[in-house]
Structure 1
Amino acid sequence: MTLFSGRAEANQVRLAQTGWRLLLRRNQSYLTAVGTLVVIALFGAAIVHLTAEVRYDDVVSALADTSWRSVATAIFFTGLSFLTLTFYDLGALDYIRRKLPYAQVALTAACAYAVGNTAGFGALSGGAIRYRSYSRLGLEPDDIARVVAFVTLAFGLGLVAVTCLSLLAVAEYVAPLTRLDAFWLRTIAAVVLAGMLAIMVAARSSHEISIGRITLRLPASRTTSRQFLITTLDLAASATVLYVLLPTGTIGWPAFLAIYCVAVGLGVLSHVPAGLGVFETVIVATLGHAADVDAILGALVLYRVIYHLLPLLIAIVVIIGIEVRQFTGHPAASSLRRAGGRMTPLLLATLALVLALMLVLSSVTPTPDENLLLLSNYVSLPIVEGAHFLASLLGLALVIVARGLALRLDGAWWASLAIALAALLLSLAKAVALGEAGMLAFFIVALLASRRLFVRPASLFGQALTPPWLTALGVICLGALVVLLFVYRNVEYSHELWWQFEISAEAPRGLRALLGVTIGASAVAIWSLMRPAATAIAPASKEDMQRAIAILETQDMSDANLVRMGDKSIMFSPDGRAFIMYGRWGRSWVALFDPVGPQEAWPDLIWQFIEMARSNGCRAVFYQVSPRGLAYYADAGLRAFRLGELAEVDLRQFEMKGGKWATLRRQVSRGQRDGLEFSVVEPTDVPAILPELAAISDAWLAHHNAREKGFSLGAFDPHYLETQPVAVLKCEGRIVAFANILLTDVREEGSVDLMRFSPEAPKGSMDFLFAQLMEYLKAQGYRRFNLGMAPLSGMSSHSTAPVWDRAGRTFFEHGERFYNFKGLRAFKSKFHPHWQPRYLAASGGLNPVLALMDATFLIGGGIKGVIKK
């Protein structure tokens, strides 16, 4: 009894642990957001403590005292750093053996780093820039994923190596920050470097090393050395940007490089956007004893402006310039325009975030005395107070509409334009802030120049903000609080401060602005977290079915005939020329295949489907999509993950002659000797043979211990079978096998869906059926035959392949006990098809895994259907 109770308790503990793991995994994005805010709060408190003796006016004076020569030098090294950054992408493309023109690669890389350095999180990451740009330039999703992985790994390893090398020389400067003795810092650095050197040596003789059960595929030592050199030059140049802005003689350059690398590394590890606050804390903590803290803070502010904001503005100018030049018909702009057009929304969205931060921070910092004096002569106090408060709320509104800009919403464009115009006027009315007004004017001009890119007529407020955007709201509020505490640390707090309204009462004005922003951000966060419940979706009506069938008959996509099953919902494009068939499982709206209809109607329909899914609190998923639509899914913010390969036979060249067709010829000859007879039954004659087909189908299901599937596969439904021809095989006058044929009126492509055969059918009957069917379709004038998809086929095993591909490849190689992956591909390979990749398009993170699970359950009809084949 005791043993039994002990086992029961152990099972309960395991179930509880599993429940906690599932809970943590399900809420990982929100926990990451909370952790990020906690980190920035801790570092914010540290920076306030480290600057206890510093006054805001001293920082402003230090900024003003910076020489133009230092600023010009910093700008030069910023340009050098970004030039070096372009070679990360060139190295990655060379590693995957793909070549693109340098101008396009440089533009993409520069924009990716301009966004990544400034925003530094999720929806506005450099990876999103690369995905949108490179997909337009012809790279496949797995190639883009390998580029992103290579770039990330190259920078990370280079940063570690440079930091360790620097620590060997200047560990005593970093020791006070880490509270470790300089000896131990050098020891750790030496061990890390020795390990990296051992890996490089191993890469010279073999591209693989094994650590236990883990096998790592390494690049050649030449590639590794080249990337290390690039990272060293990049870090040296970017460190020099800040170094030349610091007071002369603060610290030696080698020691500063080590400190800079540590600060950058901690900023990256913190997951705080742009390392905001974390980077500054490390620099102040290590250099505060060697120079005035106010001068260091002034240098840090200039560094952020020159190295983060200036490249973003230049990138926008270049991209907008390319967009404008295309109207002049200048041929030199055409190739770059393809790379730049889809990056503009992300660049403008990032700038909107920067402007939002600027508006909020300006509301908690004092106005120069001369500006206040000027305002008091021309503007009444209520207008100044109102402008100050409203400008901070407009900053909050810019964060919200920035997401819409990234998604190319027309409503977001109009809202951004209105907010920017209002904020420009308010910035003049509240503080005669010419710099602030100039930035807003630049934003307005950029919006006007790129108007044609924002054409998606989706609701701006019809969906919740995602965790990265909620994190941005929290970072802005915490940043404003830290700045407020720093600026007004000498002002004694009292409740009366809230009710002081004077032209010189700066602290009360900042308190009220911060309160308004915090309340507004909290309201937005609560509204976003209260997601709508997933609603049921109804199957298509008869009228919708008739409209969809009329569309598919004019297309060359034979698989689209699965809409005739009637088990899927249908969504039509705004112009009614295209449709998407879809189903729902869990929190996934799963669209089957690309949209059916003219390709020019796809973008709006894809976007319409995504918005409708999100408005119902679900994720949008596109299952088994082709390379033709990848650019459209990338524009909509989705990523593509390879599912397998589709086999297509060119019927114009299909002729069973020559050595490669010997095996298939033998199967056909064998079928003829066994008495197999092939024929095609027209739809009008199918009802007469339905009883025989039903008996074969039941016997096939029983023999394979299987059940009917759905969604991406047809089921045995008399109404469905009567809509298209059926290919049958007879032996001694009885039907022993059949397959329903999927065709459209354009006679471009043919395919099959249900393939059933009797257990008594001669061996090789399906080979015989397919060969005879291809001969039949070729004679009817069809150009190609669609053999369907081989799941997990063609997954990359390259060293820089994403985890998705490596896991799929492993399952393809060793998952025969679950599904006959290799056997299915081998069967299709008999017909020597052309293999084309097929993808799952979904947003990143855990979404593709959850989406694939939901799609699997949707096809199998639930967990039982999946388990029972």
Structure 2
Amino acid sequence: MDQTERQVPGAPLLDPADPAEWWARLRPWLLSLLGLALTAAIGISLRRLLQEVHYADVMSAVVATPAPNIAAALLATAFSYLALTRYDASALRYVGATVSGKTVLLTSFVAYALSNTVGLGPLSGGVVRMRLYSAAGVQPPQVARAIVFNAAAFGLGMLFFGALGLLWGAHDVARLLHLHGWALRLVAAAMLLVLLGFVWLCGRRSSIGIGSAWRIQLPPIELALRQLAISAIELAASALVLWLLLPPGPLPLPAFVAFYAIAITAGIISHIPGGIGVFETVMLLAAGNGIPRDAMLGALLLNRGIYYVLPLVVATGLLVVHELRSGIAAPVGRMAVRLSPTLLAALTLIAGIWLIVSGVTPFTDDARELLAALRVPLPLIEASHFIGSVAGLGLIIVARGILHRLDVAWWIASALAIVAAALALPKGIALHEAEFLLSLVVLLAISRRQFDRRSSFFAQHLEPEWVVALGGVVVACAWILFFAFKEVDYSNRLWWQFELDGQAPRSLRALTAVALLALAYGLWELLRPPAGELAETTPEEIERAAAIARDNPSSDACYALIGDKHLMFSPTGRSFLMFGKQGRSWVGLFGPCGDAKEFPDMVWRFMEMATDHGGRAAFYHVRPTALPLFLDCGLHPFKLGEHAHIELGDFDLKGALRANLRSGVNRARREGLRFEVIAADGVDAMLPALQAVSDAWLAEQRGGEKAFSVGRFDADYLRRFPVAAVFHGDRLIAFANLLTTDVREEAALDLMRYLPDAPPGTMDFLIVSTVLHLQAEGYRRFGLGMSPMAGMTEHRSAPKWQRIARLVFEHGDRFYNFRGLRSFKDKFAPVWEARFLAAPKGLATAFILADVTTLIGGAKSAQKT
């Protein structure tokens, strides 16, 4: 039975005496409530600004926008996003990565379309860049540095753009803000001086920092100047989009440019997705008495649709086109296709919000006349309005399941979108709404195969951010309702008015239903019983894992058989994931093993299980090829060191490269050493001799048994595998157990132990003899294990983590023989491959590393959560 299926319902998840556990559970709620409070403050500010503005006037301003202006705004949008691609090109040049222009164009456009519109958590541009650039061959640390470069370049570009606008329009801005123009010019001059100082540093130095370990690489001066020019062009193009949508008025262009920069900056600082509300508030203040506020608000609504939502739809369409193309063999193409659920989740979220907003706003006079002319039954109008709003709530809730590739979420989203699209016509001849929903249905249908997680929708817990965001949407829609019907005299009679012109009662009933259902769902999420306790790993589960491990090409799966880790099986039983729990850290080892098609679902389930228990999830000892599994979940890669393996097909003892090994093997044979592989069924008889060698080795090392990512001397564990042994005469002096599978693709060493008086070169003889034996058996690779902290980038602009790790590797021999271990393995001329920790960013990484160290040090994985 699955680990999660054996949990005891209702068991407590939190230790009342542990403040850290309480804080871990409460922190997301507190941060989300802070964001909700900020949203409420914005709503109050907008209410005051729009006291004299009427909904009908805003819609009239939208309709009155000239078609040529909209076409020009579309062109400016395209030019702005094209300029944004140069950010990525500059960032890749800065980190020294070479990527094709086509890949840069696709990655940048998708990343910015997603982050501009949604912009937080897993729905961010950083996830897109990490996935696609890693697939293009860029190392994850380089991608991380490129992402940081992008953020810094945008900030400096905003500083440059804002300084120019403020310097140019100081007089007009000062008049609107009731300040002195000279004071604003001084601020602009100071901003430009900061930029000039930065450019000067780029020309004089290659890096800045403290000491040799904490340094930041500066871009060459030509790259810095180029990036400032790109930023100015891109921001000017995005500002032009809104400027083209504004009606002619007395707001001067210089003042508009300055306020636009302020509005963008305020939106970013607020951390509200897309800066919604913050950007609009600043621009409405900028309009002052020059541009009518209904016209400004109409232009801002059009700007949201053209610059934000439309690129997201186009980006999703691009990825779907990739999916439709047959024979996608390029790694970037495959990774691009895997990103389509992320963008579809964003579109599903937007569709849900659109439906609820549509439900609380009146339809147009033209729609009313058409409904009356067609004699659409009033019950159908009422029902479509009500059901459409409830469907919108359903789409918002199901968007998380779309993000997590749930099969059931795909079905629910498709059904809700089809129903809402069909009801859009009797609802109020909402043609654009129907077009958007049908587009979503088509995109979902084409991307059907991406939603392969067979899971119960109600088994998923919504994160605090989703629950609070749901509440924020309901509150915002209530604000919109009272704005749209501000002249209505609210009374109890409204609830029972059913007539074609009774739009306020209709919207009020729809919003009440949405609010009650959202409240009920939120309370159910908060109050439903916790997942329970993790049970002990049973011998039956270990046997199930053993059967899967035997058919696995990698020897990694064999570590599940030690018995010191929890096991989580897939619903089909064809795959499993091993993990340990220490403190609040849930650490998966390697990743899923078994059927590769089930891996994404297992990673998501593990992440969700850790979150449900108030924990932080991570994966230790991850191979580079497996990183995309964890990047999808919002984890970040941190290099741990390098793993050594020998390609057995090319191994021999001839030539100068392995002259020392050859002479060592010959010397061992002259001294009477004998190599033998003891089959698994013969290990039991050798256990007393193996125990004696192991005990002597442990006494010499003055340490105890390790755990988690390394084996231990356990009789049941050793009986499962063959053992490579070295005898001196009839006396056993060294051994190593061999992790092998029936596939004969990869084998590895685990325990390596020898007597203190074993002749020098015994372990070299053991390893070389093992390699030759496995080569004769038909294996392709032989793993020698990892060298911690090895292979870290030596470049001065390397990430801080790698610089620290490099210092530990070079100067930490008093704690661990880092360099000696690397040198020992290096003499076998192995292939070195990076290994990573996939973990959340920030301080959580340090806590996870500390907990992993405790697990490896021999602490038993916590069996109760």
Report the CA distance between 1:501 and its aligned residue. 4.1
Is this contact kept in 2: 1:532–1:617, CA < 8 A? no
Aligned residue in 1 for 2:345: 349
Q: Which has the larger displacement, 310-319 or 519-528?
A: 519-528
CA distance in 1, matches of 2:631, 2:464: 20
From 582, 593, 598, the counterpart of 1:596: 593
The one-letter code sitting in structure 2 at the alignment partner of 1:508 is P
Secondary structure of 2:687's aligned partner: helix
Deviations 1:353-395 (A, max 9, x none): 1111211112222222343344456344444334323322221
CA distance in 2, matches of 1:207, 1:830: 37
CA distance in 2, matches of 1:818, 1:173: 65
Distance 1:572 1:473, change over 3 A: closer
Secondary structure of 2:122's aligned partner: helix
The one-letter code sitting in structure 2 at the alignment partner of 1:198 is G
CA distance in 1, matches of 2:399, 2:584: 26
Q: Which has the larger displacement, 663-672 or 396-405?
A: 663-672
Report the CA distance between 1:264 and its aligned residue. 0.6
Report the CA distance between 1:454 and its aligned residue. 2.0
The one-letter code sitting in structure 1 at the alignment partner of 2:354 is M
Distance 1:534 1:820, change over 3 A: farther
Secondary structure of 1:122's aligned partner: coil
Q: Does residue 252 in structure 1 map to residue 248 in structure 2?
A: no
1:622-771 paired onto structure 2 within 5 Å: 622-635=619-632, 638-656=635-653, 658-661=655-658, 664=661, 677-730=674-727, 734-762=731-759, 765-771=762-768
CA distance in 2, matches of 1:197, 1:798: 26
Deviations 1:671-704 (A, max 9, x none): 6687755444343443344333323323333343
Secondary structure of 1:98's aligned partner: coil
Aligned residue in 1 for 2:410: 413
Distance 1:91 1:532, change over 3 A: farther
Secondary structure of 1:456's aligned partner: coil
Q: Which has the larger displacement, 49-58 or 248-257?
A: 248-257
Secondary structure of 1:47's aligned partner: helix
CA distance in 2, matches of 1:408, 1:755: 43
1:433-444 paired onto structure 2 within 5 Å: 433-444=430-441
The one-letter code sitting in structure 1 at the alignment partner of 2:430 is A
Q: Which has the larger displacement, 27-36 or 606-615?
A: 606-615
Deviations 1:321-345 (A, max 9, x none): 343343xx7x9x9788535412321
Q: Does residue 517 in structure 1 map to residue 514 in structure 2?
A: yes
Is this contact kept in 1: 2:648–2:775, CA < 8 A? yes
From 545, 560, 563, the counterpart of 1:566: 563
CA distance in 2, matches of 1:747, 1:450: 36
Is this contact kept in 1: 2:123–2:346, CA < 8 A? yes
The one-letter code sitting in structure 1 at the alignment partner of 2:221 is S
Q: Does residue 371 in structure 1 map to residue 370 in structure 2?
A: no
Deviations 1:50-90 (A, max 9, x none): 12222222212222221111111111100101111122222
Aligned residue in 1 for 2:203: 204
Distance 1:764 1:325, change over 3 A: closer
Is this contact kept in 1: 2:390–2:513, CA < 8 A? yes
CA distance in 2, matches of 1:71, 1:469: 34
Q: Which has the larger displacement, 113-122 or 760-769?
A: 760-769
Is this contact kept in 2: 1:145–1:801, CA < 8 A? no
Deviations 1:434-467 (A, max 9, x none): 2222222222222223223222212222111124
Deviations 1:126-176 (A, max 9, x none): 222233433444444334323322222222222122222322332344447
TM-score (norm 1): 0.88
The one-letter code sitting in structure 1 at the alignment partner of 2:194 is G
CA distance in 1, matches of 2:861, 2:54: 68
Report the CA distance between 1:646 and its aligned residue. 0.9
Q: Which has the larger displacement, 638-647 or 610-619?
A: 610-619
Report the CA distance between 1:348 and its aligned residue. 1.6
Report the CA distance between 1:37 and its aligned residue. 1.6
Distance 1:318 1:669, change over 3 A: closer
Is this contact kept in 1: 2:108–2:129, CA < 8 A? yes
Secondary structure of 1:491's aligned partner: coil
Q: Which has the larger displacement, 669-678 or 26-35?
A: 669-678
Q: Which has the larger displacement, 640-649 or 732-741?
A: 732-741
Secondary structure of 1:350's aligned partner: helix
Distance 1:340 1:695, change over 3 A: closer
CA distance in 2, matches of 1:721, 1:862: 20
Aligned residue in 1 for 2:457: 460
The one-letter code sitting in structure 2 at the alignment partner of 1:348 is L
Aligned residue in 2 for 1:793: 790
Q: What value does the CA root-mean-square deviation take over the aligned residues?
A: 3.4
Aligned residue in 2 for 1:3: none
Distance 1:467 1:790, change over 3 A: farther
1:461-540 paired onto structure 2 within 5 Å: 461-530=458-527, 533=530, 535-538=532-535
The one-letter code sitting in structure 1 at the alignment partner of 2:72 is T
Distance 1:631 1:288, change over 3 A: same
Report the CA distance between 1:800 and its aligned residue. 6.5
Distance 1:741 1:22, change over 3 A: closer
Q: Does residue 195 in structure 1 map to residue 194 in structure 2?
A: yes
Secondary structure of 2:61's aligned partner: helix
Is this contact kept in 2: 1:574–1:605, CA < 8 A? no
Q: Which has the larger displacement, 408-417 or 100-109?
A: 100-109
The share of aligned pairs that are identical, in percent, is 45
Aligned residue in 2 for 1:127: 126
CA distance in 2, matches of 1:747, 1:345: 36
CA distance in 2, matches of 1:799, 1:21: 36
Distance 1:80 1:711, change over 3 A: same
Secondary structure of 2:713's aligned partner: coil
Aligned residue in 1 for 2:13: none
CA distance in 1, matches of 2:528, 2:148: 33
CA distance in 1, matches of 2:505, 2:847: 49
Is this contact kept in 2: 1:207–1:219, CA < 8 A? yes
Distance 1:846 1:404, change over 3 A: farther
Aligned residue in 1 for 2:303: 303
Distance 1:20 1:661, change over 3 A: same
The one-letter code sitting in structure 2 at the alignment partner of 1:41 is A
TM-score (norm 2): 0.88
The one-letter code sitting in structure 2 at the alignment partner of 1:82 is Y
The one-letter code sitting in structure 1 at the alignment partner of 2:434 is A
Aligned residue in 2 for 1:318: 318
Is this contact kept in 1: 2:855–2:861, CA < 8 A? no
Deviations 1:94-132 (A, max 9, x none): 333333332232122212211111112112112222334
Q: Which has the larger displacement, 68-77 or 353-362?
A: 353-362
CA distance in 2, matches of 1:339, 1:679: 46
CA distance in 2, matches of 1:204, 1:472: 46
Secondary structure of 2:240's aligned partner: helix
Aligned residue in 1 for 2:276: 276
Is this contact kept in 2: 1:713–1:859, CA < 8 A? yes
Q: Does residue 227 in structure 1 map to residue 227 in structure 2?
A: yes
CA distance in 2, matches of 1:497, 1:669: 98
Report the CA distance between 1:491 and its aligned residue. 3.4
CA distance in 2, matches of 1:799, 1:152: 20
Unaligned runs of 5+ in 2: 1-16
Is this contact kept in 2: 1:250–1:287, CA < 8 A? no
Is this contact kept in 2: 1:137–1:338, CA < 8 A? no
CA distance in 2, matches of 1:851, 1:199: 37
The one-letter code sitting in structure 2 at the alignment partner of 1:146 is R
Report the CA distance between 1:488 and its aligned residue. 2.8
1:2-13 paired onto structure 2 within 5 Å: none
Deviations 1:741-772 (A, max 9, x none): 22233443332111223344455543443344
CA distance in 2, matches of 1:785, 1:429: 68
Q: Does residue 290 in structure 1 map to residue 290 in structure 2?
A: yes
From 356, 362, 377, the counterpart of 1:360: 356
The one-letter code sitting in structure 1 at the alignment partner of 2:365 is D
Q: Does residue 236 in structure 1 map to residue 233 in structure 2?
A: no
Distance 1:187 1:862, change over 3 A: farther
Report the CA distance between 1:350 and its aligned residue. 1.2
